[in-house]
Amino acid sequence: MKRTRLMLLALGTLAAATYPTAAHAQSKVLMSGSTSVYPLTVDLIKAYKKKYPNTKFTVSQGGSDVGIGDVARKRVNIGMSSRDQQSGDPGGLTFSKIARDGVCVATNPDNAIANLSQQNVQDIFSGKVRRWDDVPGAKVTGPINLNVRTQASGTQDAFRNIFMGPSLNVTPSASQKASNGLVQTAIQNDKNAIGYLDVNFVSGTHPVPYKGVACNLRNAKSGQYPGVRNFWFVTVGAPKGETKKFIDFARSASVQSSVVAKKYVPYK
């Protein structure tokens, strides 16, 4: 009897030593999805961990459709999406808006076009116009080398909705890239290239004014630039627990003004 009690006491001591107290327990949030939303997510996590250092985050990229699919299958807690909810998305999802952002059409700096109309953009990306010789204001000649995003991309969806309209598709001959960074690199390295990308990835390219308005953060915030889309954190049902805590933090007025507004458009 005495030996049994000693064993129980020993197990109790071991349990107390093995398991952290509630005050020191660590929570984990798994996220995946949009390459456009990813940099903002990193900034939000850095700010959040200053206040809640015991929360761990794992974040992977792959495109908006990947994030939405992952969260629907409960592989992650939050899917990052740079496109709006669609009728074909799995049921039961909640889209929480966290920011807004600009999509730019960009060329190589050697081809610093002063302006593109919507008709110009549609002609180029549909493949109707295939040579820079036929584009007003082009600084280079020769074939137009199109760079676009893959079907899983929210930026691709936003570009289609904003610039192309419902009746036109991007030509299948365009080179598809898996991330904004790859589109950026392709444009930087090719004077005949053109593509579309997030406003935060235009360094080393020439973001072309669209409908006479420069694609930059200031014009996106003012509402002048027409190529603005939404950023979302997607969950299964209403957010709960640590997930809700993080999303509420991201959407708070103080974080919208101190973190989001530095590089993006606050969502309200």
Q: Residue 18: is its pLDDT beyond 50?
A: no
- pTM for this one? 0.84
Residues 48 and 116 in one domain: no
Residues 95 and 109 in one domain: no
For the chain, how many residues are written?
A: 268
Residues 167 and 249 in one domain: no
Q: Give 3-state DSSP helix, strand, coil % of the chain, rounded to 5.
A: 40, 25, 35
Strands 78-81 and 93-107: unpaired
Query: Each residue of 51-99: pLDDT tens digit?
Result: 999 999 999 999 999 999 999 999 999 999 999 999 999 999 999 999 9
Q: How far apart are the first and last CA of the chain?
A: 68
Residue 62 located in a structural domain: yes
Residue 22 located in a structural domain: no
Output the DSSP codes for 204-229: TSEEPPBTTB--SHHHHHHT--S-EE
Residues 59 and 146 in one domain: no
Residue 10 located in a structural domain: no
Please report, rounded to a whole number, the percentage of residues in the chain having pLDDT higher than 70.
90
Q: Residue 9: is its pLDDT beyond 80?
A: no
Residues 110 and 161 in one domain: yes
Residues 185 and 87 in one domain: no
60 class by beta-carbon count within 10 Å (0-12 exposed, 13-18 middle, 19+ buried): middle
Structurally, the chain folds into a number of domains equal to 2
Range of weakest confidence among 7-11, 191-195, 232-236:
7-11
Q: Which helix (H) or strand (E) holds 44?
A: helix 37-51
> What is residue 167's predicted lDDT score, i.e. its pLDDT?
83
Tokens of 119: 């008709």
Q: Give the integer Cα–Cα distance in Å for 8 and 12.
A: 6
Residue 49 structural domain: 30-100+229-263
Residues 211 and 113 in one domain: yes
Residue 18 located in a structural domain: no
> What is residue 260's predicted lDDT score, i.e. its pLDDT?
98
Residues 62 and 138 in one domain: no
Say if residues 105 and 149 touch (Cβ distance below 8 Å). no
Residues 208 and 109 in one domain: yes
Strand partners, 79: 32, 234
Residue 256 located in a structural domain: yes
Residues 163 and 182 in one domain: yes
Q: Residue 150: is its pLDDT beyond 70?
A: yes
Tell me the CA distances in angstroms from 4 to 7, 9, 16, 55, one per residue in order: 5, 9, 19, 39
Query: Each residue of 153-164: pLDDT tens digit?
Result: 999 999 999 999
Residues 106 and 210 in one domain: yes
Residue 25 located in a structural domain: no
> What is residue 268's predicted lDDT score, i.e. its pLDDT?
84
* pLDDT: which is higher, 7 or 263: 263
Range of weakest confidence among 20-29, 51-60, 142-151:
20-29
Q: If DSSP codes are grouped into helix, strand and coil, which group holds residue 171?
A: coil
Query: What is the residue-averaged pLDDT of the chain?
Result: 90
Q: Residue 263: is its pLDDT beyond 60?
A: yes
Residues 147 and 210 in one domain: yes
Residue 16 located in a structural domain: no
Tell me the CA distances in angstroms from 206 to 70, 108, 140, 210, 245, one per residue in order: 34, 6, 13, 12, 39
* pLDDT: which is higher, 151 or 115: 115
Q: Give the integer Cα–Cα distance in Å for 204 and 187.
A: 8
> What is residue 25's predicted lDDT score, i.e. its pLDDT?
52
Tell me the CA distances in angstroms from 49 to 29, 43, 77, 116, 256, one per residue in order: 12, 10, 17, 43, 16
Q: In degrees rounded to 5, what are phi and psi of residue 102? A: -95, 145
> What is residue 26's predicted lDDT score, i.e. its pLDDT?
59
Residue 210: CATH number of its domain: 3.40.190.10
Residue 152 located in a structural domain: yes
Q: Residue 1: is its pLDDT beyond 70?
A: no
Say if residues 206 and 113 touch (Cβ distance below 8 Å). yes
Q: Residue 43: is its pLDDT beyond 90?
A: yes
Say if residues 175 and 146 touch (Cβ distance below 8 Å). yes
